Amino acid sequence: MQNFISEQKVIDEVKKAVAETLSSDVTGMDAENSLIKDLGAESLDFLDINYRLEQTFGIKMARHFILEHIEEMFGEGSAIDENGHLTDKAVQLLKIRFGEDLPEFRPEMDMDEVPTLITIKSMASGVMDILNSLPDKCAHCGNSAWKSDDGVRIKCSACNEYAGFTSGDDLIQDWLKKVQDEKKIF
Amino acid sequence: MSTNIPKRRVVITGYGMITPLGKNTEETFQNACEGRSGIDYLTSFDTRGLPCQIGGEVNNQWIEESQSCISKRLDQFSSRGLRLMMASTAQAVRQARLDEIVDRDRIGVSLGSHGDNPSVEDMMFLHRFYDGKGNWDMKGLMQAGGYSYLQFFRRKPDASTSILSLTFGCRGPNLSIVSACAAGAQAIGEAYRMIQDGTSDVMIAGGCEATLNFAGFVGFVLIKALSAKYASPQKASRPFDRKRNGFVMSEGAGVVILEELEHARSRGVPILGDLLGYGDSADAYRITDTHPTGEGAILAIRAALDDASLRPEDIDYINAHGTSTIQNDLTETRAIKEVFREHAKNIPVSSNKSMLGHTIAAAGAIECILTVVGMNNSIILPTINLQFPDPKCDLDYVPNEARKCRVKRAISNSFGFGGQNACLCIGVFER
């Protein structure tokens, strides 16, 4: 079911989470900013940003990046070759997934460069994917009466329970299975 | 460099250790020569549900057997880390015949350690007497036997240093060092400087760590620093291997007796090695990420070489920090290449952590000793589990088998999580 939290709201919340984690200010932050290159985040900070977004939206962010899922599903070496570079097939998948959002993906790209491509917008799109897994009906009472009072948490107006979403990791895996079935990349 | 007064020379006259691979130096070194791993599934606490369930534990029986030097009273105040340190120090003190030195004011202690983490049981006990709103049921707490002040001492790293000096009767300088993975090497380096500049004649210096309990472990789990993918526990620590995916946490202790050369000669005690130089630095970069080009590491290595008045080509072996994390192994390789240039490819580099895991505050001391013992036996310990070479890590890491090789001068690297870096330069003792 289409969730009704706007992309702009999600981007604003990602900015807020990043600002709180880095003790910085949202003013001047741009959706295209790279968290690492432009905003000075380090690997540790992603744990905190994810945690804040989970608390805000009542979701479970992906614990593993898509490259790890590819390796897990399609075998070692399927995403990253022995030189630590992205495989052609991984780049093909990343292009399908991120499309115009992240045009920088290219074959032979060093895996170390990948985290620097994460932007506020790409994080927001991960959150949107999860929010879009909103089920048609409330798992608790079976009604279809979602609402949001605060613009971030979705509740059932019939029984007042919070909505449950698919976890980020499960979504990535489902997506990979679907793309593999359609395009037979591996 | 700027002073004309020649610095006093510092030598090693004793060492001791207790590790997942052995109850003393000889046993640890022998097992390491054979490329054995000290890593296994953890038994010290319930790891079910955690993504990493392995580590390097020290056999409890070895600890029990070695505690005769501690009075029962002091033992109550001792953290597990300190008990490991006591076992190691007793070995080193015996070897260096420290008891025969009359002037105890000139013997100091320099210890890298972190103290015990509170146990989950401790926290649950306290929780019973607190309502979460600032109100303590002190009467109830006292009736239940109170919260033992012994726990308070076991958590304090300074208490360990104090108890160590009390047990071995050392009234000289007393230094507690808290710098994570660099602590053991820094403790030795700072002690070396104290002897060099005349503050002390003899120093007990080393590090200890015993944080294989829930509170100690889970922080490293949360920041995803530990290896969570392994075919078997013994295969998990794989420094410089393409399939490395985090470090393996271990416990242990290592200690050296450092002594001013003439002081050692006058006692006729065997001299086991020469401490030639020490360098330390900070990345001043990020909280856990290492500097990508290894600037801090480069500073520390260069400072140690400068301090020893040696050139890069004078070094025959590098005992690497080699944690088996993607970040460290890559950065360390880059730093070595930057400092040693064209010579880098010719220097054997190996990581003891491939066998011992990462003993955090003890690592620098244990690795310093294993380097000395290796030099005295013309053996370079291997980096085990190096099966899938990483093209970005392209030095001679002494893969999988120990090597017979004469080494006159070596360095031992220790790079802390927060960007604290220490490097010791060690030589075979020559008159």
User: Chain B residues within 8 A (CB-CB) of chain A?
Assistant: 222-224, 242-243, 286-289, 388, 390-392
Do residues A153 and A162 touch, judged by C-beta distance below 8 A?
A: yes
What's the confidence (pLDDT) of residue A106? 85
Partner residue opposite A84 with nearest CB, options B223, B287, B392? B392
Residue in A with minimal Cα distance to B330: A112
Q: How far apart are CA B183 and CA B174, in angstroms?
A: 15
Q: What is the C-alpha separation between B257 and B10, in angstroms, rounded?
A: 10
Q: Is B170 a catalytic residue?
A: no
Active-site residue identified among B33, B358, B368, B425: B358
Q: What residues have CB less than 8 Å from A74, skipping those under 6 apart?
A: A180, A186
Pairs of CB atoms within 8 A across A/B: 24
Are the beta carbons of A42 and B242 separated by less than 8 Å?
Answer: no
Tokens 């202690």 -> residue: B109
Interface contact A84-B390, CB threshold 8 A: yes
Option in A42, A82, A83 nearest B288 (CB): A42
| Cβ pair A44:B222 closer than 8 A | no
Closest by Cβ to A43, choosing from B222, B288, B391: B288
B127 is catalytic: no
Go through B186-209 and write b for each residue having 16 or more CB atoms within 10 A of its CB, e for each that does not: bbbbbbbbbbbeeebbbbbbbbbb
pLDDT, one tens digit per residue, over A71-105 is: 999 998 899 998 889 999 999 999 998 877 777 88
Average pLDDT value over all residues in chain A: 92
Active-site annotation holds for B343: no
The DSSP call for residue B174 is E
Q: Which amino acid is at A163?
A: A
Residue B243: its chain A contacts at CB < 8 A?
76
**CA-nearest residue of chain B to A77?**
B243
Which of B170, B263, B321, B425 does the annotation list as catalytic? Answer: B321
The pTM of this model reads 0.90
Which SS3 state, helix, strand or coil, does residue B159 take?
A: helix
What do you get for the CA distance between the two ends of chain B, in Å?
23
Burial B299-325 (b: 16+ CB within 10 A, else e): bbbbbbbebbebebeebbbbbbbbbbb
Chain B residues touching residue A47 (CB < 8 angstroms): 222-224
Residue B158 has a CB neighbour count (10 Å cut-off) of: 15
Amino acid at residue number B394: D
CA B49 from centre of chain: 29
Spatial strand order of the sheet with B174-177 comes to B174-177, B107-112, B202-209, B252-260, B10-18, B273-282, B420-427, B409-415, B317-319, B349-350
DSSP symbols for B218-236: HHHHHTT-B----SSGGGS
- Could you say which of B33, B52, B170, B181 is catalytic? B181
Amino acid at B381: L
Distance from CA of A76 to the nearest CA of B (A): 10
Q: Per-residue pLDDT tens, chain B, 431 aa: give them.
A: 455 678 899 999 999 999 999 999 999 999 999 999 999 999 999 999 999 999 999 999 999 998 877 788 888 889 999 999 999 999 999 999 999 999 999 999 999 999 988 888 888 999 999 999 999 999 998 888 777 788 888 999 999 999 999 999 999 999 999 999 999 999 999 999 999 999 999 999 999 999 999 999 999 999 899 999 999 999 999 999 999 999 999 999 999 999 999 999 999 999 999 999 999 999 999 888 888 889 999 999 999 999 999 999 999 999 999 999 999 999 999 999 999 999 999 999 999 999 999 999 999 999 999 999 999 999 999 999 999 999 999 999 999 999 999 999 999 999 988 899 999 999 999 87
**Confidence bin at A2 (pLDDT 50/70/90):** low
CA A70 to CA A37: how far, in whole Å? Answer: 25
Smallest CA–CA distance, residue A41 to chain B, in Å, is: 9
Q: For A104-127, how does the pLDDT look when each residue is reduced to its tens digit (9 = 90+)?
A: 888 889 988 889 999 999 999 999
